[in-house]
Structures are given as structure tokens and as C-alpha cells.
């Protein structure tokens, strides 16, 4: 079965699906090793790791595509939901993005309706007119037929255009054939319920970390409300940054490592040193 086929079968099961947010080969391998068969290749995490900065539409298609290939090479059995952001341009750019992600082995791709480049501020997102957003999702779904990649259609219009418009867009995405839908920044449980009802049985994606202007829904509540998929955007990234800061502080204090650092044998095991030796053995020259 292909990655999209496996993910589609997984979504048909009753269990809630947690997708840790990953950004590179190591984070993908760690998530898979912890038992997570699927993961969200998060644009915000890739921006943090590559740019050392916020997710403000500065990361490019090429950088995200490279990150996807990195993840697939390091953890080929991970079912990857790739962040396609706004498709990196118009509907034709969306076609290219979806096609490329599908051929690279992603199981699903997220496409959203925000305007890019965004206004020169970190506050809020302006969104495309509804019909222009429709054309982007239509292009994504048509491009997805080649590989079978699932399309996750996201609307960011709730904070700027209201819940009625956001729900109308979810209904539109379902009518266009989106496989998964995502209403970003619902204000409360009532708005969440409206978005899930508008999905008409399509799996709904949720962000489970609290954020500005977003209903903070924990996993138990997400399941009760009817969500099917959840991600924690800073679940690994934030502790990873804290760990690096702790290591730097320890080095600055003249110590070899911070409290809580992995013992060297454990670190070598995580990085697969022994597996490398096994795989390399047939190619060693005598003596």
C-alpha cells in the first residue's frame, strides 16, 4: 500500500490520531521510535530550525520540499502530513506543490487560504476571497489524483472574517472533495462543533497546543468534540530548544553536559551507530 492508502485506512479506524510536529530526520526518527506512525511536517518547526525565527511566510517551497525528503530518508515508514502552506503562490503553484509532495512520498498535504506575502506584521492573517480559495483547493485535489496524496484544506479566516465565513469555507472544501479539513482558531466549543458539523464526516484536524485567539482543546476534549487528528506544534520543538539552552549554559559554566543529558551509549543508540556498522560490514576490505 502507498502512504496515502495507509493513512486513509488509518483514518477509517475509530481511534484518534496524534501527529507530532516534526522538522528534520532526527525529529522524525524519534517520533516514529516513540510509537507515532504518522507525523506533521510543520512549517513553523521547519522555519524555527532553518531560519532560527518565526513562521511568517519566509520559508520557501524548496526548503519545505528538502525537509520532506530528509524526513522520508530518515524515517521511511512515517506517514507524513506535509505542510504545503499557501501552496507558495497561485493555483498553479498549488498544483506543483501537491504533485511534488505526492511523488516524494507524503501521505497528505495541507493547503490554506491565507494571502501571501502577508502584511509586514506578525499579527493576524488576511485571507483570499472565497472563490480564489476554492480554485486553490480545486487545483490541489486535481493534482493529488496522480499520487493519491490526501488533501487537507485549511481556512484561517475565522479571526478576520468571522465564524460564518469560516464554516462556509469548510463546507466549500468538502464539496470540492477535500479529504481532511481544518478550521483554524475557533474561539470556543460551539464554533468547533459548527466546523465539525460542516465537515460532514470528513476527518477534522486540530491544533492541541494553546495559542493566541485559539480555543485550547486538550486531547480528551478534542475526541469528545469530534476531532479525528491532533498535533502539538511545539510539543518537541520547545523542549528541544530548552535542552540546547541547558547544554550551552552547562558549557559556559565549564561543565561537559547539562543535567538530564543522554548518556553517551544512549545517544549512540538513538543515532544508530551499531546499525551503521552492521550495514557497512559487507563492504569492508580484508585487513
pLDDT above 70 coverage of the chain, percent: 98
- Name 112's bridge partners: 154
User: Cα separation of 142 and 95, whole Å?
Assistant: 8
Element holding 185 (H helix, E strand) = none
Does residue 213 surpass a pLDDT of 70? no
What pLDDT was estimated at residue 120? 77
Do the Cβ atoms of 195 and 170 come closer than 8 Å? yes
In order of 25, 56, 75, 107, 182, the CA distances from 46 in angstroms are 11, 12, 17, 18, 20
Query: Across the chain, what does the average pLDDT equal?
Result: 95
Element holding 186 (H helix, E strand) = none
What pLDDT was estimated at residue 216? 65
Q: Where are the domains of the chain?
A: 3-235, 241-283
Do the Cβ atoms of 241 and 27 come closer than 8 Å? no
Q: What is the mean pLDDT of residues 80-105?
A: 98
Q: What is the mean pLDDT of residues 140-156?
A: 98
What pLDDT was estimated at residue 217? 77
- Does a cis peptide bond (omega within 30 degrees of 0) precede residue 233? no
**In residues, how long is the chain?**
287
Q: What is the mean pLDDT of residues 85-100?
A: 97
pLDDT digit string (tens) for 223-267? 999 999 999 999 999 999 999 999 999 999 999 999 999 999 999
CA 109 to chain centre: 8
First to last CA, the chain: 44
pLDDT digit string (tens) for 14-67? 999 999 999 999 999 999 999 999 999 999 999 999 999 999 999 999 999 999
Does residue 6 surpass a pLDDT of 80? yes
Q: What is the mean pLDDT of residues 208-216?
A: 73
Does residue 123 surpass a pLDDT of 90? no
**CATH superfamily of this structure's domain 3-235:** Phosphoenolpyruvate-binding domains (3.20.20.60)
Pick from 206, 231, 272: which is nearest to 30 by CA? Answer: 272
- Provide the H-helix boundaries in 12-148: 25-33, 43-51, 61-74, 91-103, 130-144
User: Cα separation of 180 and 17, whole Å?
Assistant: 13
Do the Cβ atoms of 247 and 261 come closer than 8 Å? yes
Q: What is the mean pLDDT of residues 137-164?
A: 97
What pLDDT was estimated at residue 168? 98
User: Cα separation of 135 and 130, whole Å?
Assistant: 9
Amino acid at each position: 500500500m502507498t502512504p496515502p492508502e495507509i493513512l486513509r485506512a488509518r483514518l477509517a479506524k475509530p481511534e484518534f490520531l496524534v501527529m507530532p510536529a516534526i522538522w528534520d530526520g532526527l525529529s522524525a526518527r524519534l517520533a516514529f521510535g516513540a510509537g507515532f506512525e504518522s507525523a506533521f511536517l510543520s512549517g513553523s518547526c521547519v522555519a524555527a530550525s532553518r531560519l532560527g525565527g518565526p513562521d511568517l511566510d519566509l520559508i520557501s517551497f524548496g526548503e519545505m520540499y528538502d525537509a520532506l525528503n530528509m524526513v522520508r530518508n530518515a524515517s521511511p515508514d512515517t506517514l507524513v502530513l506535509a505542510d504545503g502552506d499557501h501552496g507558495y503562490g497561485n493555483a498553479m503553484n498549488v498544483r506543483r506543490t501537491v504533485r511534488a509532495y505526492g511523488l516524494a512520498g507524503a501521505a497528505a498535504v495541507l493547503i490554506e487560504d491565507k494571502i501571501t506575502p502577508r502584511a509586514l506584521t506578525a499579527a493576524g492573517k488576511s485571507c483570499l476571497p472565497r472563490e480564489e480559495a476554492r480554485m486553490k483547493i480545486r487545483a490541489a485535489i486535481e493534482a493529488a489524483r496522480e499520487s493519491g496524496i490526501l488533501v487537507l484544506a485549511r481556512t484561517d479566516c475565522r479571526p478576520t472574517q468571522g465564524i460564518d465565513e469560516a464554516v462556509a469555507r469548510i463546507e466549500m472544501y468538502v464539496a470540492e472533495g477535500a479529504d481532511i479539513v481544518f478550521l483554524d482558531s475557533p474561539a470556543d466549543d460551539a464554533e468547533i462543533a459548527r466546523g465539525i458539523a460542516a465537515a460532514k464526516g470528513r476527518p477534522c484536524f486540530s491544533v492541541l497546543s494553546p495559542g493566541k485567539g485559539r480555543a485550547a482543546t486538550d486531547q480528551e476534549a478534542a475526541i469528545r468534540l469530534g476531532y479525528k487528528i491532533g498535533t502539538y506544534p511545539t510539543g518537541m520543538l520547545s523542549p528541544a530548544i530548552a535542552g540546547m539552552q541547558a547544554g550551552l549554559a552547562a558549557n559556559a559554566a565549564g561543565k561537559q553536559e547539562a543535567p538530564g543529558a543522554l548518556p553517551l551509549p544512549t545517544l549512540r543508540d538513538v543515532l544508530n551507530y551499531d546499525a551503521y556498522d552492521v550495514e557497512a560490514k559487507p563492504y569492508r576490505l580484508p585487513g
